[in-house]
Chains A and B, each alone.
Chain A
Amino acid sequence: MGKPNDLVQGTLDLLILKTISLEPKHGWAIAKRIQQISNEVLQVQQGSLYPALHRLEQQGWIRAKWGETGTGRQAKFYGLTAAGRAQLKREKESWNRLSSAISLVIEAG
């Protein structure tokens, strides 16, 4: 649908939750961070990033706060809520289960 085939459906949530699990970040930083860590493999488009952030916020996994960036500009920083932390754990487990299962299948003779 016009989006690069960057992310498996549903994994964006996991990536976002993981990325902000250490400290709250704003949207731009989240996208950049995912890009960097994945060695430029994963490109998060704004068209998916912001709807995903807002959806996670509506669901109560993450919470937005206004804060100052390094340049002194006001920006919206997203941080994990307690529920979001638990959700990250669940999503991580389910992702591990899934990816190892897939590996098993494709590695099998």
Chain B
Amino acid sequence: MRWFEQFRMAVLMLFRRNNETARLNDELQFHLEQQIAENRSKGMGMDEARSAALRTFGNPTSLRDQARSTWSWNWLEICLRDIRYGARTLARSPGFAIIAILVMALGIGATTSLFTIARAVLLKPLPFREPNKLVMVYEHFRTAIGGDGFNVVSPHDFRDWREQTHGFEDMAAWRNYGFNLTGEHEELPEVVQAAGGSWNLFSVLGVQPVLGRAFTSGEDHPGANHVVLLSWSLFQRRFNGNASILGNSIRLDTNSYTVVGVLPRWFTYPDPRVQLWVPYAQTFTIDEYAAHDQHQSHVVARLRTGVSAAVATKEVSALQYQLYQANASKPVAEDAVFRPMIDDLVQDVKTPLIVLLCAVGCMLLIACLNVSNLLVARSAARRKEVAVRGALGGSRLTLIREQMTESILICAVGGVLGLVISVLVTGWFANHWQGLPRANTIGVDGSVLAFSIGLVFLTALLAGLLPAVSATGSGVLAALQESSRSIGGSASRAVLRKILLAVEVALTVTLLISAGLLFKSFLHLRTSDLGCVTDHVLTIKYGLPEKQYDTREKVAAFHESLLRQLRSLPGVRAAALVSTPPGGGYDGDDVFTIPERPSDKFNLQYDAIYRTADPEYFSALQIPLISGRFFTDQERLTRDHYVIVSKQLASQFFSGDSPLGKHLKVAWGSKPEDFEIIGVVGDTLYDVTQPSKAMMYFPILSGIPSQTSGATIVLRASGDPLALSLPVQKQVAALDPALPVYEVFTMHQILGNSTANQSFSATLVLAFAGLSLLLAAIGLYGVLSYLVAQRVTEIGIRIALGAQKSEVLRLILLDGLRPVVIGSLIGLAGGAIAGALMRSILYGTSPLDPLVFSIMIGSLFLTAVAACTLPALRAARIEPMQALRTE
């Protein structure tokens, strides 16, 4: 029953507090009356009795307070009172309050947004069964140069691993693939990104199709019945979410595939763009499926309980070494390595995300310091008030609490606003980050809310504690004695503000330098030379289905007639075909040997990216011929044993000798054959963010179905290249109406796409740095204005004694710029450290780039001088008589 009584009191105290207060007053009044009555009964007169009673009674207010202090919810009352005081103080200077709140809102909002994204992408467990038991296993070449040491796996290696090792509970594989998708009845064709998944992939991940079933082991063979699993998005988009598609067939590359199931909506692994899945083995020919030296697959393994990934991988690695020894003349890796699946998925975005998170964190810290700085100024103005209250017995804790309430209020209001901002911009953030993995899991939830609440308290503490402690510190007497005419002002307060300012400047410089480095690296990417012409160039891809275009003649005939049609289009200055244009990606590489320079054993470093090209490709894209000649129409069909190499290949593998007339022995068709080198051309980049790599070009007119059926049309237009895209598509449709085209891009768009994320992060960090610079300028201006106001009398005396305006100006400027110089020096060191940490995402830019450092320091100093000039001019214009009279 006691809890009931307590609860009743708690409710009473909460909701009927005023009533209880009245009762308390009445109770005390009654006591006083009794005392008076007693005194009177002892024979005192009315007035005497009353004053005697009051004397024994003591201070009624403090008595009431003592009784009230035992009430429950007392803390709430104190809290409300503090908030009321805080709000009143803030309302008295609305300008300060609004600026401070906006600054905090921006800082908290941006930090919360980035935390939301970073948490969803980096920290949230993968949506699979026991996701921490999933690892990715890769091959590892001991002699590989470049790359990260995680090499994709060949199909036969994977099959041997799965069958012959037992450390993992199970292993599954997938590879990227692409199809021309049509229906059974001549529906509109489209090119879809697809993937081949081994039959156990979905069970290893713990994913159930929402409709139908996954693959069976019987279907996972080259040449087995064609079956397909649809992604949820394709199922909705192309089949209107109609379940009757199950059991029916669709056409992929003109082959009929039976739809056996639909994957859940949330399943977007490995990439949301994957539209459908086919059995892993069905993406290979029988020969390819048996290959140890063709690498394209990703292997997912589930850990067996009690067996660590390292132990299990060791067993796989031992098997791989046997495979390596059995295939010594082929590119087969020596070892197997693993990494956790989540690391595998987020590796590309981890560093940029962390950089962005640090940048907003920095900005938030600067915002805190700024609010702190402004609060110090205000507390300096209230120093006497605080000292008087301290002298009258106000406890230091109460005074600190009151001052803290102000910063808590600022941060809380800012935090609420910031959360709203964050909800609004997080989606925008995630959408503008191209290829952000797991973007679909991003959202505000409990832990994000908890994070922002934590952030509010942390910022309030950071912003409020220093001013509160310093304002209520010792020296009550000094503060009371201090005359407003005192010449020194409160020097210690100024020192505190200057330290805060120096820290602020240091952080700003660090941010500015990081932003500058990222931006320079982005500019470097944008202006980097692909090795070919990029203006007025349009690229369009198509892929000939191997079922219809099954001979060299058919493939070559299609390419040639298309080229003829394209060249006759008005507005086309040049048209050519290439497998993948410069900047368009890696595509694939092959190892080779040089018969003229026999090396005793297979060497993995004899490796180059392959391309196919038609005779006019190089002139169309203005890739320079260095020696020899381009292809001619003679190098076609089976007369195709000719190759053109890039300058880098020539210099890397022929070290000065002319490669012309020599041969590359490459397994271009089915087995290694000699290809005569007929020309050397300039280098082109396969990806602007990557260094160039040796490249070899085979004639596309050989028409080998598997090797040349995919092509990219490159067109140089006389006007707007995109205007040509429709005429080109019509020409393709005229030749084969069932053939879709895809990836219609100008060269500039290709470049833009591959640098979009660099542009995104560079712009964001630059924006954060700009804001921080603005904040630092506000802080600087505030501090200096305050100092000038403090020193009006002193400056007046100086001027009265004959100081020149320019001297006063210099005095104030130097005073203001000292913390800037100190802060900048610290910031330079910070910038150098930040640069070193970001090294992996800087392209063609040294972490200590002198240009970036000098520009950023320069802009900081310009801003600082501008912020200091106004108060300094004000000081120089002080009228000595007026200054000396003001009191």
Q: Which residues of A come within 8 Å of B, CB atoms? A: 26-28, 45-47, 50-55, 57-61, 63, 73-76, 81-83
Contacts and interface: CB of A to CB of B under 8 A. Distances in A.
A81 B5 CA distance: 9
B31 A46 contact: yes
B34 A54 contact: no
B5 A83 contact: yes
Contacts of B478: none
Contacts of A74: 26
Contact of B67 (A51, A59, A61, A63): A51
A83 B68 CA distance: 23
Contacts of A53: 67
B840 interface: no
B30 interface: yes
Interface string B25-43: 0111011011100000000
B30 A83 contact: no
Nearest to A71: B37
Given A27-B31, A47-B58, A50-B63, A58 B1 contact: no
Q: Which 4 A-B pairs have the closest CB atoms?
A: A60-B5, A83-B2, A55-B70, A28-B34
A73 B6 contact: no
B37 to A, nearest CB: 8
B15 interface: no
A81 B2 contact: yes
19 contacts: A26-B27, A27-B31, A28-B31, A28-B35, A46-B63, A47-B58, A47-B66, A54-B24, A54-B71, A58-B6, A58-B72, A60-B2, A60-B3, A60-B9, A61-B2, A63-B5, A73-B30, A76-B30, A82-B1
A51 B69 contact: yes
A57 B1 CA distance: 14
B533 interface: no
Nearest to A59: B6
Interface residues of B, number: 30
Nearest to B58: A47
Contacts of A54: 24, 67-68, 70-71
B57 interface: yes
Contacts of B31: 27-28, 46
Most buried by A among B2, B28, B58, B69: B2
Given A58-B13, A58-B71, A50 B66 contact: yes
B827 to A, nearest CB: 54
Given A54-B71, A55-B70, A76 B27 contact: yes
Contacts of B30: 26-28, 73, 75-76
A46 B35 CA distance: 11
A51 B1 contact: no
A61 B6 CA distance: 9
Contacts of A81: 1-2, 5
B23 interface: yes
Contacts of B3: 60
A50 B1 CA distance: 24
Contact of B23 (A47, A58, A76): A76
A36 B13 CA distance: 33
A59 B71 CA distance: 10
A9 B248 CA distance: 88
B630 to A, nearest CB: 96
A32 to B, nearest CB: 8
Given A46-B58, A47-B63, A76-B27, A83 B70 contact: no
Nearest to A83: B2
Given A46-B57, A51-B70, A58-B13, A76 B1 contact: no
Contacts of B10: 58
Contacts of B58: 45-47
Contacts of A50: 24, 27-28, 63, 66-67
A60 B66 contact: no
Most buried by A among B5, B10, B63, B68: B5
Interface in B58-82: 58, 62-63, 66-72
B6 A51 contact: no
B6 A60 contact: yes
Nearest to A69: B30
A57 to B, nearest CB: 6
Contacts of A51: 66-67, 69-70
Contacts of B34: 28
Contacts of B35: 28
Contacts of A57: 9
A106 B452 CA distance: 61
Interface string B306-337: 00000000000000000000000000000000
Given A51-B66, A75-B27, 6 more contacts: A26-B27, A54-B67, A54-B68, A58-B9, A59-B6, A63-B5
Nearest to B3: A60
A45 B6 CA distance: 26
Contacts of B57: 46
A70 B9 CA distance: 28
Contacts of A73: 30, 33
Contacts of B66: 47, 50-51
Nearest to A48: B66
A54 B66 CA distance: 10
A58 B70 contact: yes
Most buried by B among A60, A61, A73: A60
Contacts of A82: 1
A30 to B, nearest CB: 10
Contacts of B2: 59-61, 81, 83
A60 B8 CA distance: 9
Contacts of A76: 23, 26-27, 30
B332 to A, nearest CB: 80
Contacts of B69: 51
Given A51-B66, A51-B69, A27 B5 contact: no
B68 to A, nearest CB: 8
Interface string B266-289: 000000000000000000000000
A27 B9 CA distance: 19
A59 B70 CA distance: 10
B746 to A, nearest CB: 77
B112 to A, nearest CB: 40
A58 to B, nearest CB: 5
Contacts of B1: 81-83
A83 B3 CA distance: 9
Most buried by A among B4, B31, B57: B31
Interface in B2-22: 2-6, 9-10, 13
A99 B138 CA distance: 80
B15 to A, nearest CB: 15
A26 B13 CA distance: 20
A57 B10 CA distance: 10
Nearest to B6: A60
Contacts of A83: 1-2, 5
A51 B57 CA distance: 14
Nearest to B28: A50
A55 B13 CA distance: 12
A51 B27 CA distance: 12
A73 B62 CA distance: 25
Contacts of B6: 58-60
Contacts of A47: 58, 62-63, 66
Most buried by B among A53, A75, A82: A75
Contacts of B63: 46-47, 50
A56 B24 CA distance: 15
Contacts of A26: 27, 30
Contacts of A55: 70
A13 B31 CA distance: 19
B41 to A, nearest CB: 12
B858 to A, nearest CB: 65
Contacts of B68: 54
A50 B57 CA distance: 12
Contacts of A45: 58
B387 to A, nearest CB: 26
B474 to A, nearest CB: 25
